[in-house]
Amino acid sequence: MIKKRIEIIPSVLSMDLACIKESLKMIPNSVNMLHLDVMDGHYVNNITFGPVFLRSMRRATRKKIDAHLMITNPDKYASDFMDCGADLISFHPETSSKPLKLIQQIKKRGVKAGLALNPDIPVKSILKYLPHVDYVLLMSVFPGFAGQEFIESVLEKIDYLKRERGRMKFAIEIDGGINNLTGRRSIERGAEWIVSGSYLFRGGSVQKNIERILYDA
Ligand code: DX5
Ligand code: ZN
Protein backbone atom coordinates (compact mmCIF):
# COMPACT_ATOMS: atom_id res chain seq x y z
CA MET A 1 0.00 0.00 0.00
CA ILE A 2 1.15 3.55 -0.71
CA LYS A 3 2.28 5.22 2.50
CA LYS A 4 0.23 8.36 3.05
CA ARG A 5 2.14 11.55 3.84
CA ILE A 6 1.81 13.02 7.28
CA GLU A 7 -0.18 16.24 7.43
CA ILE A 8 0.01 18.47 10.49
CA ILE A 9 -3.27 20.39 10.56
CA PRO A 10 -3.42 23.56 12.68
CA SER A 11 -6.72 24.12 14.48
CA VAL A 12 -8.15 27.60 13.89
CA LEU A 13 -9.82 27.59 17.33
CA SER A 14 -6.44 28.20 18.99
CA MET A 15 -5.38 31.04 16.69
CA ASP A 16 -5.58 34.70 17.65
CA LEU A 17 -8.84 35.38 15.85
CA ALA A 18 -8.78 39.15 16.26
CA CYS A 19 -5.71 39.12 14.01
CA ILE A 20 -6.63 36.25 11.74
CA LYS A 21 -4.52 37.46 8.81
CA GLU A 22 -1.45 37.73 11.04
CA SER A 23 -2.21 34.31 12.53
CA LEU A 24 -2.43 32.80 9.06
CA LYS A 25 0.94 34.32 8.18
CA MET A 26 2.48 32.29 11.03
CA ILE A 27 1.47 29.04 9.32
CA PRO A 28 4.32 27.65 7.23
CA ASN A 29 3.97 26.87 3.51
CA SER A 30 4.41 23.15 4.20
CA VAL A 31 0.97 23.09 5.86
CA ASN A 32 -1.76 22.11 3.41
CA MET A 33 -4.88 22.09 5.57
CA LEU A 34 -6.48 24.07 8.38
CA HIS A 35 -8.95 22.53 10.83
CA LEU A 36 -12.12 24.49 11.60
CA ASP A 37 -14.12 23.34 14.64
CA VAL A 38 -17.80 24.08 14.13
CA MET A 39 -19.71 23.84 17.43
CA ASP A 40 -23.38 24.63 17.89
CA GLY A 41 -23.87 24.81 21.68
CA HIS A 42 -26.22 21.85 21.38
CA TYR A 43 -24.28 18.79 20.33
CA VAL A 44 -21.39 20.18 22.40
CA ASN A 45 -21.26 22.72 25.22
CA ASN A 46 -19.58 25.43 23.22
CA ILE A 47 -20.36 27.69 20.28
CA THR A 48 -17.71 28.57 17.72
CA PHE A 49 -17.78 29.20 13.97
CA GLY A 50 -20.50 29.25 11.34
CA PRO A 51 -20.49 29.43 7.54
CA VAL A 52 -20.00 33.21 7.51
CA PHE A 53 -16.70 32.88 9.30
CA LEU A 54 -15.67 30.07 6.97
CA ARG A 55 -16.39 32.29 3.96
CA SER A 56 -14.05 34.99 5.32
CA MET A 57 -11.36 32.42 5.95
CA ARG A 58 -11.80 31.12 2.43
CA ARG A 59 -10.87 34.56 1.14
CA ALA A 60 -7.90 34.84 3.50
CA THR A 61 -6.12 31.56 2.71
CA ARG A 62 -5.53 29.14 -0.14
CA LYS A 63 -4.99 26.21 2.21
CA LYS A 64 -7.63 23.53 2.32
CA ILE A 65 -10.24 24.00 5.01
CA ASP A 66 -11.19 20.90 6.99
CA ALA A 67 -14.55 21.67 8.63
CA HIS A 68 -15.26 19.47 11.65
CA LEU A 69 -18.99 19.69 12.29
CA MET A 70 -19.87 19.16 15.94
CA ILE A 71 -23.52 20.04 15.40
CA THR A 72 -26.82 18.22 15.80
CA ASN A 73 -28.12 18.59 12.27
CA PRO A 74 -25.31 18.21 9.73
CA ASP A 75 -27.83 16.96 7.13
CA LYS A 76 -29.29 20.45 7.08
CA TYR A 77 -26.15 22.58 7.41
CA ALA A 78 -23.34 20.72 5.59
CA SER A 79 -24.31 22.34 2.27
CA ASP A 80 -23.92 25.85 3.76
CA PHE A 81 -20.36 25.03 4.75
CA MET A 82 -19.68 23.67 1.27
CA ASP A 83 -21.19 26.78 -0.33
CA CYS A 84 -18.83 28.87 1.78
CA GLY A 85 -15.76 26.97 0.60
CA ALA A 86 -15.03 23.95 2.82
CA ASP A 87 -12.72 21.46 1.09
CA LEU A 88 -13.32 18.68 3.60
CA ILE A 89 -16.28 18.05 5.89
CA SER A 90 -16.49 15.61 8.77
CA PHE A 91 -19.52 14.98 10.96
CA HIS A 92 -20.37 12.69 13.86
CA PRO A 93 -22.48 9.75 12.57
CA GLU A 94 -24.89 9.80 15.51
CA THR A 95 -25.90 13.35 14.59
CA SER A 96 -27.11 12.47 11.11
CA SER A 97 -30.37 10.75 10.22
CA LYS A 98 -28.77 9.21 7.12
CA PRO A 99 -24.97 9.21 7.39
CA LEU A 100 -24.38 7.38 4.10
CA LYS A 101 -26.62 9.76 2.18
CA LEU A 102 -24.80 12.74 3.67
CA ILE A 103 -21.38 11.26 2.83
CA GLN A 104 -22.54 10.83 -0.76
CA GLN A 105 -23.93 14.36 -0.95
CA ILE A 106 -20.65 15.78 0.27
CA LYS A 107 -18.56 13.74 -2.18
CA LYS A 108 -20.84 14.60 -5.08
CA ARG A 109 -19.79 18.22 -4.67
CA GLY A 110 -16.12 17.31 -4.91
CA VAL A 111 -15.62 17.83 -1.17
CA LYS A 112 -13.89 15.16 0.91
CA ALA A 113 -16.14 13.44 3.45
CA GLY A 114 -15.10 12.18 6.86
CA LEU A 115 -16.72 10.57 9.87
CA ALA A 116 -15.73 11.82 13.32
CA LEU A 117 -15.74 9.43 16.25
CA ASN A 118 -15.95 10.39 19.91
CA PRO A 119 -13.59 8.60 22.31
CA ASP A 120 -16.39 6.45 23.78
CA ILE A 121 -17.84 5.28 20.46
CA PRO A 122 -16.46 1.95 19.21
CA VAL A 123 -14.77 2.24 15.87
CA LYS A 124 -16.50 -0.96 14.79
CA SER A 125 -19.76 0.98 14.66
CA ILE A 126 -18.66 2.76 11.47
CA LEU A 127 -17.36 -0.33 9.69
CA LYS A 128 -20.06 -0.24 7.01
CA TYR A 129 -19.24 3.37 6.11
CA LEU A 130 -15.50 2.86 5.68
CA PRO A 131 -15.61 2.06 1.94
CA HIS A 132 -17.37 5.39 1.35
CA VAL A 133 -15.40 7.90 3.40
CA ASP A 134 -12.25 9.83 2.50
CA TYR A 135 -11.11 10.01 6.11
CA VAL A 136 -11.95 8.97 9.66
CA LEU A 137 -11.43 11.57 12.38
CA LEU A 138 -10.61 9.92 15.69
CA MET A 139 -11.34 12.24 18.59
CA SER A 140 -8.70 11.85 21.29
CA VAL A 141 -10.62 14.20 23.63
CA PHE A 142 -14.34 14.67 24.13
CA PRO A 143 -15.40 17.34 21.64
CA GLY A 144 -16.12 20.88 22.80
CA PHE A 145 -12.91 22.56 23.86
CA ALA A 146 -9.28 23.01 22.93
CA GLY A 147 -6.56 22.34 25.49
CA GLN A 148 -7.78 19.03 26.91
CA GLU A 149 -5.67 16.00 27.76
CA PHE A 150 -5.06 13.31 25.16
CA ILE A 151 -6.94 10.03 25.75
CA GLU A 152 -4.31 7.38 25.13
CA SER A 153 -6.69 4.43 24.62
CA VAL A 154 -7.90 6.00 21.36
CA LEU A 155 -4.65 4.84 19.74
CA GLU A 156 -6.10 1.32 19.66
CA LYS A 157 -8.66 2.53 17.14
CA ILE A 158 -5.82 3.29 14.74
CA ASP A 159 -4.76 -0.38 14.85
CA TYR A 160 -8.31 -1.44 14.02
CA LEU A 161 -8.63 1.00 11.11
CA LYS A 162 -5.29 -0.05 9.68
CA ARG A 163 -6.32 -3.71 9.86
CA GLU A 164 -9.63 -3.05 8.15
CA ARG A 165 -8.34 -0.63 5.54
CA GLY A 166 -7.02 -3.17 3.04
CA ARG A 167 -7.49 -1.55 -0.34
CA MET A 168 -9.71 1.21 0.96
CA LYS A 169 -8.22 4.66 0.69
CA PHE A 170 -9.45 6.58 3.73
CA ALA A 171 -6.95 8.59 5.76
CA ILE A 172 -6.77 8.41 9.55
CA GLU A 173 -7.01 11.78 11.30
CA ILE A 174 -6.54 12.31 15.02
CA ASP A 175 -7.78 15.36 16.91
CA GLY A 176 -7.45 16.56 20.50
CA GLY A 177 -4.62 16.94 22.98
CA ILE A 178 -1.89 16.65 20.37
CA ASN A 179 1.55 17.84 21.45
CA ASN A 180 5.04 16.70 20.43
CA LEU A 181 4.74 13.46 22.45
CA THR A 182 1.14 12.44 21.73
CA GLY A 183 1.52 13.56 18.11
CA ARG A 184 4.63 11.45 17.68
CA ARG A 185 2.94 8.42 19.24
CA SER A 186 -0.09 8.87 16.96
CA ILE A 187 2.11 9.03 13.87
CA GLU A 188 4.09 5.97 14.94
CA ARG A 189 0.85 4.10 15.47
CA GLY A 190 -0.30 5.00 11.94
CA ALA A 191 -2.32 8.23 12.05
CA GLU A 192 -1.65 10.35 8.98
CA TRP A 193 -3.48 13.62 9.60
CA ILE A 194 -2.62 15.23 12.92
CA VAL A 195 -4.76 18.12 14.17
CA SER A 196 -3.17 20.36 16.77
CA GLY A 197 -4.40 23.58 18.36
CA SER A 198 -3.08 24.74 21.75
CA TYR A 199 0.32 23.13 21.27
CA LEU A 200 1.04 24.75 17.90
CA PHE A 201 -0.09 28.21 19.03
CA ARG A 202 1.33 28.12 22.58
CA GLY A 203 3.94 30.73 21.56
CA GLY A 204 7.17 30.64 19.64
CA SER A 205 7.31 29.54 16.07
CA VAL A 206 4.51 27.39 14.67
CA GLN A 207 7.04 25.89 12.27
CA LYS A 208 9.28 24.82 15.21
CA ASN A 209 6.30 23.32 17.04
CA ILE A 210 5.34 21.37 13.94
CA GLU A 211 8.92 20.10 13.64
CA ARG A 212 8.83 19.02 17.27
CA ILE A 213 5.82 16.81 16.50
CA LEU A 214 7.38 15.44 13.33
CA TYR A 215 10.98 14.86 14.36
CA ASP A 216 11.46 14.87 18.14
CA ALA A 217 11.22 11.67 20.13
C1 DX5 B 1 -12.06 19.69 20.22
C2 DX5 B 1 -11.72 20.07 18.80
C3 DX5 B 1 -10.25 20.04 18.48
C4 DX5 B 1 -9.44 21.10 19.19
C5 DX5 B 1 -7.99 20.69 19.25
O6 DX5 B 1 -13.44 19.63 20.35
O7 DX5 B 1 -12.37 19.19 17.90
O8 DX5 B 1 -10.05 20.17 17.08
O9 DX5 B 1 -9.52 22.35 18.54
O10 DX5 B 1 -7.34 21.52 20.14
P11 DX5 B 1 -6.16 20.98 21.06
O12 DX5 B 1 -5.05 20.57 20.13
O13 DX5 B 1 -5.82 22.15 21.91
O14 DX5 B 1 -6.69 19.82 21.85
ZN1 ZN C 1 -11.81 19.25 15.71
The strand pairing partners of 193, in sequence order, are 7, 173
Within a domain: residue 168? yes
CATH classification at residue 93: 3.20.20.70
Domain count, the chain: 1
Within a domain: residue 23? yes
Q: Which of 55, 56, 197 is nearest to 139 (CA)?
A: 197
pLDDT 10s per residue in the chain (217 long)?
445 799 999 999 999 999 999 999 999 999 999 999 999 999 999 999 999 999 999 999 999 999 999 999 999 999 999 999 999 999 999 999 999 999 999 999 999 999 999 999 999 999 999 999 999 999 999 999 999 999 999 999 999 999 999 999 999 999 999 999 999 999 999 999 999 999 999 999 999 999 999 996 4
Q: Cβ(141) to ligand 1 under 6 A?
A: yes
Within a domain: residue 184? yes
175 annotated active-site:
yes
pLDDT at 165 (0 to 100): 97
Residue 193, H or E segment: strand 193-196
Within a domain: residue 138? yes
Q: Given ligand 1 and candidates 12, 14, 200, which is best to mutate, with the most ligand atoms within 8 Å of its CB?
A: 14
Domain span holding position 201: 7-214
Which strands form 135-139's sheet, in the order they lie side by side?
A: 7-10, 193-196, 171-175, 135-139, 112-117, 88-91, 64-70, 33-39
Within a domain: residue 1? no
Q: How far apart are the first and last CA of the chain?
A: 26
Within a domain: residue 2? no
pLDDT at 3 (0 to 100): 58
